[in-house]
Amino acid sequence: MNDYSIRLAALGAMIGVLTLSAAAYANVSAAGRIPDPPSVTARAESARQTATEAAEEVLAPAACYAALRLETPIRGRLWLCDLSGSPIAEVEADADGDAALGPVTPGRYCLTLDSERIGSFRVLENAAITETAGRLWSDGELLHLERFRPGQAEITLTLTEPGYESILLVDDLGRRWTRDFFIPEQEGRGADGSYARVLRFQGLPEGRYTLVHDRRPLQQFQVLAGGTVRLSAKLP
């Protein structure tokens, strides 16, 4: 159990104990065995409310910073905005073109340059970047304001058994992209009795790639600038 789970369990237990304590005072008072001191009931309710607010704070999505890299110099004012175009913060890059966006909570955002929308993206809870559009692209960790138009691959994998698996993409220059994934035993099977998983690789440079599983090449494919390749493969 991680630290987050332990804190959440402790807060839940505190709320339960305080709620039962308040109820016990009310029941005993109603039976006429002891008086019902208002101060005791008020303190119990106040403590319960404090614990509830603390639990809500733990459950709230944590704010994070997304990393942006300007691959080409820009002229004008760059802003981080919500999807409606309302400004959140001006983006200021350092001499290397790197900037931090945020703090933001998980969700979708866009960038504007001199009030013109130039792209959108989604921030995940671990600050990873996905679902990019426009002049923006992501390698999973960094958001890039494009220098080249990257491609992407969408691979549908079919498996006969659940469990942990890993696949690898290797381009002609020897660069590697790995995806590890897990299919639980209780996950529903398809009509043919197999399991399926769709994996997406973003930010792929133009070139020829080989899909590899367990050190065995499965198939080759070509990624074009700005294009999306969709393919299927069956894992033994």
Structure confidence at residue 133 (pLDDT):
84
More confident residue, 26 or 125: 125
**Per-residue confidence band for 181, with pLDDT thresholds at 50, 70 and 90:** very high
Structure confidence at residue 187 (pLDDT):
85
Residue 211: CB atoms within 10 Å: 20
Structure confidence at residue 50 (pLDDT):
61
Structure confidence at residue 37 (pLDDT):
56
For residue 25, pLDDT over 50 is answered with no
For residue 182, pLDDT over 90 is answered with yes
Give the lowest-confidence range in 127-136, 141-150, 200-209: 141-150
For residue 9, pLDDT over 70 is answered with no
CATH class label, 151-234: mainly beta
All residues at 6 or more sequence positions from 6 whose CB lies less than 8 Å from its CB, including other chains: none
Secondary structure letter of residue 169 according to DSSP: E
Length of the chain: 236
Phi/psi of residue 165, nearest 5 degrees: -140, 165
pLDDT digits (tens, 9 = 90+) for 98-129: 999 988 999 999 999 998 999 999 998 888 89
In the predicted model, what is the mean pLDDT of residues 123-142? 85
Domain 64-145, what fold? Immunoglobulin-like (2.60.40)
pLDDT digits (tens, 9 = 90+) for 146-172: 776 778 899 999 999 999 999 999 999
All residues at 6 or more sequence positions from 20 whose CB lies less than 8 Å from its CB, including other chains: none
Phi/psi of residue 79, nearest 5 degrees: -125, 140
Residue 30: CB atoms within 10 Å: 9
